[in-house]
Amino acid sequence: MTNDRYLHIWPSGGDLTEAYLADEEIEAEGWWCAACRSPRPETKKINIRINSKKPENNPVCRISGFFVGIVSLELLDILDPEDIKNCLYLGRVEDCNGFPLADWMTVRARNRVIVRGSSHASTRLCDACGYRPYFAMPPNYIFPPISSKFAVSQSQLSGLVFSADYANRLDGIRMKGVTVEELPVFKAPLDGLGEFSN
């Protein structure tokens, strides 16, 4: 069973914080691929230190150059505990002094989806880790459908994709620095790339 519409929240205000460690130090931790500059597909929970006191006050943001998503507890608080347990891996965020930030967590979803576009599309598989970067111009949509057992998924844009059931709960969240878009589910892709796995 699948839903026919989703809500996508992704950090469109640019990379809002930087990692404390250098590229080679993060690569040595084993979860990040320097070839495609993304977390490896098998990565679950990520703990990371940032080069500031805290992220910007956005519900979702990402770490510059690493495609690591950070989510606020304000946004997590609207989710059912079972959906957090079944859909998300949450990790620790530390400030530049090494102190854990109580209001922020890194986020990785058990289900990762590629939000598809309609033109100027490109994709490939990373030879080093097997991750699939994807780029296309809007309008955006979901293809293929997402199984309804995943109330929350993660997009290639470090954003979160919510089932339509959560739309009303998101109304009270301050949506600074993010794009919120409703995504329909299409029966066939418009980007000319056909069907492929994530």
pLDDT, one tens digit for every residue, the chain (198 residues):
456 789 999 988 655 678 888 889 999 999 999 999 999 999 999 999 998 877 777 889 888 888 899 999 989 999 999 999 999 999 999 988 899 999 999 999 999 999 999 999 999 999 999 999 999 999 999 999 999 899 999 999 999 999 988 877 887 777 888 888 999 999 999 999 999 877
Dist. CA 86–CA 179, nearest whole Å: 25
Of 80, 45, 81, 73, the closest CA to residue 57 belongs to 73
Beta strand 48-49 with 88-94: parallel, antiparallel or unpaired?
parallel
Q: Where are the domains of the chain?
A: 1-191
Dist. CA 193–CA 19, nearest whole Å: 34
